[in-house]
Amino acid sequence: MDVFIDRSYAPDIAAQEDEFLAEFIERAGAAGSPGEGVSAEEEYLALFMAHSLEEPQGRSELVTDTYLHQGLEIKYSKFVSNYSRLDPSSGIGLIRLSSASVTQEGFSVFSADATLMCYSLLGEGEVVVGGRGIKLRKYDFVWLDCSQRPHFRAVPGRSWDCAFVRVHGTADSPLFADACRALREDGLIQLTFGAGTRFRSLIWQLLSARTESGPNPETVYSHLLLSLFVEVDLAIVSASVRQVIVPDIITAIQSYLDRNYSRSISLDSLSHTFSISKYHMSREFKRYVGKSPNDYLIDIRLDRAKELLVDSKRTIAEIGQLVGIPNTNHFLYLFKNREGLTPSAFRKQRI
Protein backbone atom coordinates (compact mmCIF):
# COMPACT_ATOMS: atom_id res chain seq x y z
CA MET A 1 0.00 0.00 0.00
CA ASP A 2 1.47 3.35 -1.04
CA VAL A 3 0.90 5.93 1.64
CA PHE A 4 1.75 9.61 1.31
CA ILE A 5 2.34 10.89 4.84
CA ASP A 6 2.58 14.67 5.01
CA ARG A 7 3.49 15.12 8.71
CA SER A 8 4.85 18.66 9.09
CA TYR A 9 5.90 19.69 12.58
CA ALA A 10 5.92 23.11 14.17
CA PRO A 11 8.80 23.60 16.62
CA ASP A 12 6.65 23.05 19.72
CA ILE A 13 5.66 19.49 18.76
CA ALA A 14 8.88 18.28 17.15
CA ALA A 15 9.67 16.32 20.33
CA GLN A 16 6.76 13.99 19.56
CA GLU A 17 8.49 12.63 16.46
CA ASP A 18 9.57 9.32 18.05
CA GLU A 19 6.10 8.68 19.46
CA PHE A 20 4.46 9.37 16.10
CA LEU A 21 6.98 7.21 14.25
CA ALA A 22 6.18 4.26 16.50
CA GLU A 23 2.45 4.81 15.95
CA PHE A 24 2.92 5.07 12.17
CA ILE A 25 4.90 1.84 11.96
CA GLU A 26 2.24 0.09 14.02
CA ARG A 27 -0.51 1.35 11.69
CA ALA A 28 1.45 0.50 8.55
CA GLY A 29 2.05 -3.02 9.80
CA ALA A 30 -1.62 -3.48 10.66
CA ALA A 31 -2.75 -2.26 7.23
CA GLY A 32 -0.65 -4.78 5.24
CA SER A 33 0.12 -8.45 5.52
CA PRO A 34 1.94 -9.58 8.70
CA GLY A 35 5.63 -8.80 8.51
CA GLU A 36 5.39 -6.86 5.23
CA GLY A 37 6.04 -3.20 4.43
CA VAL A 38 7.27 -1.93 7.83
CA SER A 39 10.89 -1.27 6.84
CA ALA A 40 9.86 0.39 3.55
CA GLU A 41 7.30 2.60 5.27
CA GLU A 42 9.79 3.54 7.98
CA GLU A 43 12.41 4.43 5.37
CA TYR A 44 9.91 6.59 3.46
CA LEU A 45 8.69 8.35 6.59
CA ALA A 46 12.26 9.14 7.62
CA LEU A 47 12.92 10.55 4.16
CA PHE A 48 9.80 12.69 4.29
CA MET A 49 10.66 14.01 7.75
CA ALA A 50 14.07 15.04 6.48
CA HIS A 51 12.23 17.42 4.14
CA SER A 52 9.31 18.47 6.33
CA LEU A 53 11.36 19.23 9.46
CA GLU A 54 13.49 21.76 7.63
CA GLU A 55 12.89 25.32 8.66
CA PRO A 56 9.92 26.64 6.61
CA GLN A 57 11.24 30.20 6.49
CA GLY A 58 9.47 31.64 3.46
CA ARG A 59 10.95 29.24 0.97
CA SER A 60 9.62 26.79 -1.58
CA GLU A 61 10.99 23.31 -1.95
CA LEU A 62 11.12 21.16 -5.02
CA VAL A 63 10.75 17.50 -4.11
CA THR A 64 12.91 15.09 -6.05
CA ASP A 65 11.89 12.05 -8.07
CA THR A 66 12.18 9.95 -4.91
CA TYR A 67 8.45 10.50 -4.53
CA LEU A 68 7.42 9.41 -8.01
CA HIS A 69 6.92 5.80 -6.95
CA GLN A 70 4.55 7.00 -4.26
CA GLY A 71 2.04 8.08 -6.91
CA LEU A 72 2.66 11.81 -6.52
CA GLU A 73 5.12 14.17 -8.19
CA ILE A 74 5.28 17.35 -6.12
CA LYS A 75 6.17 20.37 -8.23
CA TYR A 76 5.97 23.09 -5.58
CA SER A 77 5.72 23.07 -1.81
CA LYS A 78 5.48 25.86 0.74
CA PHE A 79 4.90 25.83 4.51
CA VAL A 80 2.92 28.57 6.28
CA SER A 81 3.42 28.52 10.03
CA ASN A 82 1.89 31.75 11.33
CA TYR A 83 -1.75 31.54 10.18
CA SER A 84 -2.85 31.22 13.83
CA ARG A 85 -1.69 34.80 14.49
CA LEU A 86 -4.37 36.06 12.10
CA ASP A 87 -7.07 33.62 13.26
CA PRO A 88 -6.04 32.63 16.83
CA SER A 89 -9.27 30.82 17.75
CA SER A 90 -9.27 28.60 14.65
CA GLY A 91 -7.26 25.73 16.13
CA ILE A 92 -5.24 25.65 12.89
CA GLY A 93 -1.50 25.05 13.04
CA LEU A 94 0.99 24.45 10.24
CA ILE A 95 -0.35 24.65 6.67
CA ARG A 96 1.32 23.17 3.61
CA LEU A 97 0.66 24.48 0.09
CA SER A 98 1.65 22.34 -2.87
CA SER A 99 1.01 21.67 -6.52
CA ALA A 100 1.51 18.16 -7.86
CA SER A 101 0.84 15.67 -10.62
CA VAL A 102 -1.04 12.57 -9.46
CA THR A 103 -0.32 9.27 -11.17
CA GLN A 104 -2.69 6.43 -12.02
CA GLU A 105 -1.22 4.48 -9.10
CA GLY A 106 -2.16 7.33 -6.82
CA PHE A 107 -1.45 7.97 -3.15
CA SER A 108 -3.23 7.75 0.19
CA VAL A 109 -3.26 10.23 3.05
CA PHE A 110 -3.78 9.64 6.74
CA SER A 111 -3.64 12.00 9.69
CA ALA A 112 -5.78 12.09 12.80
CA ASP A 113 -5.50 15.87 13.10
CA ALA A 114 -5.44 17.31 9.58
CA THR A 115 -7.71 18.08 6.65
CA LEU A 116 -6.75 18.32 2.99
CA MET A 117 -8.04 20.61 0.24
CA CYS A 118 -7.65 19.35 -3.32
CA TYR A 119 -8.43 21.61 -6.29
CA SER A 120 -8.25 20.07 -9.76
CA LEU A 121 -6.21 22.32 -12.05
CA LEU A 122 -6.00 20.16 -15.15
CA GLY A 123 -6.97 16.65 -16.22
CA GLU A 124 -9.18 14.20 -14.37
CA GLY A 125 -8.92 11.96 -11.35
CA GLU A 126 -10.78 10.33 -8.51
CA VAL A 127 -10.68 10.39 -4.73
CA VAL A 128 -11.87 7.27 -2.93
CA VAL A 129 -13.07 7.87 0.62
CA GLY A 130 -15.30 5.71 2.79
CA GLY A 131 -15.76 3.24 -0.04
CA ARG A 132 -17.10 5.99 -2.31
CA GLY A 133 -15.40 7.17 -5.47
CA ILE A 134 -15.70 10.87 -6.32
CA LYS A 135 -14.75 11.97 -9.84
CA LEU A 136 -12.86 15.26 -10.02
CA ARG A 137 -12.43 17.19 -13.25
CA LYS A 138 -10.90 20.59 -13.93
CA TYR A 139 -12.32 23.23 -11.53
CA ASP A 140 -13.66 20.62 -9.05
CA PHE A 141 -12.74 20.91 -5.38
CA VAL A 142 -12.90 18.69 -2.30
CA TRP A 143 -11.96 19.34 1.32
CA LEU A 144 -11.49 16.10 3.26
CA ASP A 145 -10.88 14.87 6.77
CA CYS A 146 -7.56 13.00 6.52
CA SER A 147 -8.58 10.54 9.25
CA GLN A 148 -10.80 8.90 6.60
CA ARG A 149 -7.67 7.80 4.68
CA PRO A 150 -8.66 9.25 1.28
CA HIS A 151 -6.93 7.80 -1.78
CA PHE A 152 -6.25 9.99 -4.82
CA ARG A 153 -5.54 8.59 -8.30
CA ALA A 154 -5.56 9.82 -11.88
CA VAL A 155 -7.97 8.40 -14.44
CA PRO A 156 -6.14 5.82 -16.61
CA GLY A 157 -4.56 7.46 -19.62
CA ARG A 158 -5.07 10.99 -18.28
CA SER A 159 -2.72 13.35 -16.48
CA TRP A 160 -4.06 15.02 -13.33
CA ASP A 161 -2.56 18.20 -11.90
CA CYS A 162 -3.86 19.46 -8.57
CA ALA A 163 -3.32 22.13 -5.96
CA PHE A 164 -3.28 20.88 -2.37
CA VAL A 165 -3.69 22.76 0.91
CA ARG A 166 -3.03 20.60 3.95
CA VAL A 167 -4.34 22.10 7.17
CA HIS A 168 -3.13 20.75 10.52
CA GLY A 169 -5.26 21.28 13.60
CA THR A 170 -8.93 21.20 14.56
CA ALA A 171 -10.21 23.71 11.95
CA ASP A 172 -12.86 25.27 14.16
CA SER A 173 -12.77 28.92 13.13
CA PRO A 174 -15.69 31.30 13.73
CA LEU A 175 -14.64 33.15 10.56
CA PHE A 176 -15.66 30.24 8.30
CA ALA A 177 -17.88 28.34 10.72
CA ASP A 178 -20.11 26.62 8.13
CA ALA A 179 -17.15 25.05 6.38
CA CYS A 180 -15.72 23.84 9.69
CA ARG A 181 -19.12 22.42 10.68
CA ALA A 182 -19.44 20.58 7.37
CA LEU A 183 -16.02 19.02 7.85
CA ARG A 184 -16.87 17.90 11.38
CA GLU A 185 -20.26 16.48 10.51
CA ASP A 186 -19.71 15.10 7.01
CA GLY A 187 -15.95 14.82 6.72
CA LEU A 188 -16.21 16.10 3.15
CA ILE A 189 -16.94 19.32 1.24
CA GLN A 190 -17.37 19.07 -2.52
CA LEU A 191 -17.69 22.20 -4.71
CA THR A 192 -16.74 23.60 -8.12
CA PHE A 193 -14.88 26.88 -8.66
CA GLY A 194 -14.71 27.67 -12.35
CA ALA A 195 -12.76 30.03 -14.56
CA GLY A 196 -12.61 33.60 -13.29
CA THR A 197 -13.74 32.79 -9.74
CA ARG A 198 -12.03 34.47 -6.81
CA PHE A 199 -11.20 31.04 -5.35
CA ARG A 200 -9.20 30.08 -8.45
CA SER A 201 -7.39 33.42 -8.41
CA LEU A 202 -6.43 32.86 -4.77
CA ILE A 203 -5.04 29.42 -5.61
CA TRP A 204 -2.85 30.95 -8.32
CA GLN A 205 -1.59 33.58 -5.86
CA LEU A 206 -0.82 31.01 -3.17
CA LEU A 207 1.22 28.91 -5.61
CA SER A 208 2.99 31.89 -7.17
CA ALA A 209 6.70 32.46 -6.51
CA ARG A 210 5.95 36.18 -6.80
CA THR A 211 3.90 36.03 -3.59
CA GLU A 212 6.81 34.52 -1.70
CA SER A 213 9.27 37.08 -3.00
CA GLY A 214 7.15 40.09 -2.06
CA PRO A 215 7.40 42.16 1.13
CA ASN A 216 6.25 40.46 4.36
CA PRO A 217 5.21 37.21 2.57
CA GLU A 218 4.12 35.28 5.68
CA THR A 219 1.46 37.87 6.47
CA VAL A 220 0.32 37.85 2.83
CA TYR A 221 0.05 34.05 2.83
CA SER A 222 -2.04 34.11 6.00
CA HIS A 223 -4.50 36.62 4.53
CA LEU A 224 -4.71 34.71 1.25
CA LEU A 225 -5.45 31.50 3.14
CA LEU A 226 -8.14 33.16 5.23
CA SER A 227 -9.70 34.49 2.02
CA LEU A 228 -9.57 30.98 0.53
CA PHE A 229 -11.33 29.46 3.55
CA VAL A 230 -13.96 32.20 3.50
CA GLU A 231 -14.63 31.59 -0.22
CA VAL A 232 -15.43 27.96 0.58
CA ASP A 233 -17.64 29.05 3.47
CA LEU A 234 -19.47 31.55 1.27
CA ALA A 235 -20.09 28.89 -1.39
CA ILE A 236 -21.60 26.59 1.23
CA VAL A 237 -23.81 29.33 2.67
CA SER A 238 -24.96 30.43 -0.80
CA ALA A 239 -25.87 26.88 -1.74
CA SER A 240 -27.91 26.44 1.42
CA VAL A 241 -29.81 29.71 0.95
CA ARG A 242 -31.19 28.88 -2.46
CA GLN A 243 -30.81 26.08 -4.92
CA VAL A 244 -30.83 27.62 -8.37
CA ILE A 245 -31.82 25.36 -11.23
CA VAL A 246 -29.78 26.53 -14.21
CA PRO A 247 -31.71 26.24 -17.47
CA ASP A 248 -30.42 23.55 -19.82
CA ILE A 249 -29.67 26.07 -22.55
CA ILE A 250 -27.37 28.08 -20.25
CA THR A 251 -25.54 24.89 -19.26
CA ALA A 252 -25.26 23.97 -22.95
CA ILE A 253 -23.79 27.39 -23.80
CA GLN A 254 -21.25 27.07 -20.97
CA SER A 255 -20.24 23.63 -22.19
CA TYR A 256 -19.94 24.92 -25.76
CA LEU A 257 -17.65 27.75 -24.64
CA ASP A 258 -15.56 25.37 -22.53
CA ARG A 259 -14.96 23.13 -25.56
CA ASN A 260 -14.61 25.71 -28.31
CA TYR A 261 -12.77 28.60 -26.65
CA SER A 262 -9.99 28.43 -29.27
CA ARG A 263 -12.40 29.27 -32.09
CA SER A 264 -13.73 32.66 -33.13
CA ILE A 265 -16.93 33.09 -31.11
CA SER A 266 -19.26 36.10 -31.04
CA LEU A 267 -22.64 36.80 -29.50
CA ASP A 268 -24.15 36.60 -32.97
CA SER A 269 -22.63 33.19 -33.65
CA LEU A 270 -23.78 31.90 -30.24
CA SER A 271 -27.25 33.26 -30.89
CA HIS A 272 -27.35 31.46 -34.25
CA THR A 273 -25.97 28.20 -32.86
CA PHE A 274 -28.52 28.02 -30.03
CA SER A 275 -31.43 29.73 -31.83
CA ILE A 276 -31.92 32.33 -29.13
CA SER A 277 -31.99 36.11 -29.09
CA LYS A 278 -28.52 37.37 -28.21
CA TYR A 279 -29.97 39.98 -25.84
CA HIS A 280 -32.06 37.40 -23.99
CA MET A 281 -29.11 34.99 -23.97
CA SER A 282 -26.74 37.61 -22.52
CA ARG A 283 -29.21 38.60 -19.82
CA GLU A 284 -30.02 35.03 -18.76
CA PHE A 285 -26.39 33.88 -18.93
CA LYS A 286 -25.29 36.66 -16.60
CA ARG A 287 -28.23 35.97 -14.30
CA TYR A 288 -27.26 32.33 -13.77
CA VAL A 289 -23.49 32.35 -14.32
CA GLY A 290 -22.70 35.74 -12.80
CA LYS A 291 -20.94 37.18 -15.84
CA SER A 292 -21.59 37.81 -19.53
CA PRO A 293 -20.83 35.12 -22.15
CA ASN A 294 -17.93 37.25 -23.40
CA ASP A 295 -16.38 37.64 -19.93
CA TYR A 296 -16.83 33.92 -19.30
CA LEU A 297 -15.07 33.14 -22.60
CA ILE A 298 -12.18 35.51 -21.80
CA ASP A 299 -11.70 33.87 -18.39
CA ILE A 300 -11.55 30.41 -19.97
CA ARG A 301 -9.04 31.59 -22.58
CA LEU A 302 -6.78 33.26 -20.03
CA ASP A 303 -6.92 30.23 -17.72
CA ARG A 304 -5.78 28.04 -20.60
CA ALA A 305 -3.12 30.62 -21.52
CA LYS A 306 -1.72 30.48 -17.98
CA GLU A 307 -1.43 26.70 -18.23
CA LEU A 308 0.42 26.97 -21.55
CA LEU A 309 2.72 29.68 -20.20
CA VAL A 310 3.79 27.38 -17.36
CA ASP A 311 3.78 24.00 -19.11
CA SER A 312 5.09 24.85 -22.59
CA LYS A 313 7.83 26.84 -24.31
CA ARG A 314 5.52 28.33 -26.92
CA THR A 315 5.82 32.03 -27.69
CA ILE A 316 3.31 34.56 -26.39
CA ALA A 317 1.93 35.01 -29.91
CA GLU A 318 1.51 31.24 -30.37
CA ILE A 319 -0.31 30.92 -27.06
CA GLY A 320 -2.64 33.77 -28.00
CA GLN A 321 -3.48 31.94 -31.24
CA LEU A 322 -4.08 28.64 -29.43
CA VAL A 323 -6.52 30.12 -26.92
CA GLY A 324 -8.56 32.05 -29.48
CA ILE A 325 -7.01 35.53 -29.19
CA PRO A 326 -4.93 35.82 -32.38
CA ASN A 327 -4.25 39.55 -32.04
CA THR A 328 -1.15 39.59 -29.86
CA ASN A 329 -1.60 43.17 -28.67
CA HIS A 330 -5.17 42.42 -27.64
CA PHE A 331 -4.01 39.25 -25.87
CA LEU A 332 -1.36 41.25 -23.96
CA TYR A 333 -3.94 43.89 -23.02
CA LEU A 334 -6.49 41.35 -21.76
CA PHE A 335 -3.90 39.38 -19.80
CA LYS A 336 -2.39 42.46 -18.12
CA ASN A 337 -5.84 43.89 -17.41
CA ARG A 338 -7.15 40.69 -15.80
CA GLU A 339 -4.01 39.33 -14.12
CA GLY A 340 -2.14 42.53 -13.24
CA LEU A 341 1.05 41.51 -15.07
CA THR A 342 2.17 40.58 -18.56
CA PRO A 343 2.23 36.98 -19.84
CA SER A 344 6.05 37.04 -19.83
CA ALA A 345 6.16 38.19 -16.21
CA PHE A 346 3.61 35.54 -15.26
CA ARG A 347 5.74 32.85 -16.91
CA LYS A 348 8.93 33.99 -15.13
CA GLN A 349 7.35 33.96 -11.69
CA ARG A 350 5.89 30.47 -12.17
CA ILE A 351 9.01 28.75 -13.51
The string of pLDDT tens digits covering residues 249-304 is 999 999 999 999 999 999 999 999 999 999 999 999 998 888 999 999 999 999 99
More confident residue, 302 or 42: 302
Average pLDDT of span 173-192: 93
Burial class of residue 313, CB neighbours in 10 A (0-12, 13-18, 19+) = exposed
Average pLDDT of span 234-259: 84
- Most distant CA atoms of the chain, gap in Å: 70
Q: Which residues sit opposite 127 in a β-bridge? A: 134, 152
Residue 312 pLDDT grade (very low, low, confident, very high; cuts 50, 70, 90): confident
Report the C-alpha dihedral over residues 164, 169, 171, 175, rounded to 10 degrees: -100
Which range, of 23-32, 313-322, 337-346, averages the lowest pLDDT? 23-32
Whole-Å CA distances, 105 to 4, 62, 158, 161, 214: 12, 21, 12, 14, 37
SS3 sequence of the chain: CCECCCCCCCHHHHHHHHHHHHHHHHHHHHHCCCCCCHHHHHHHHHHHHHHHCCCCCCCEECCCHHHHHHCEEEEEEEEECCHHHHCCCCCEEEEEEEEEEECCCCEECCCCCEEEEEEEEEEEEEEEECCEEEEEECCEEEEEEHHHCCEEEECCCCCEEEEEEEEEECCCCHHHHHHHHHHHHHCEEEEECCCCCHHHHHHHHHCCHHHHHCCCHHHHHHHHHHHHHHHHHHHHHHHHHCCCCCCHHHHHHHHHHHHHCCCCCCHHHHHHHHCCCHHHHHHHHHHHHCCCHHHHHHHHHHHHHHHHHHHCCCCHHHHHHHCCCCCHHHHHHHHHHHHCCCHHHHHHHHC
Residue 224 pLDDT grade (very low, low, confident, very high; cuts 50, 70, 90): very high
d(CA 116, CA 152): 11
Residue 159 pLDDT grade (very low, low, confident, very high; cuts 50, 70, 90): confident
- pLDDT at residue 56 greater than cutoff 60: no
Q: Which residues sit opposite 168 in a β-bridge? A: 114
Complete domains list, the chain, with CATH: 55-241 (2.60.120.280), 248-350 (1.10.10.60)
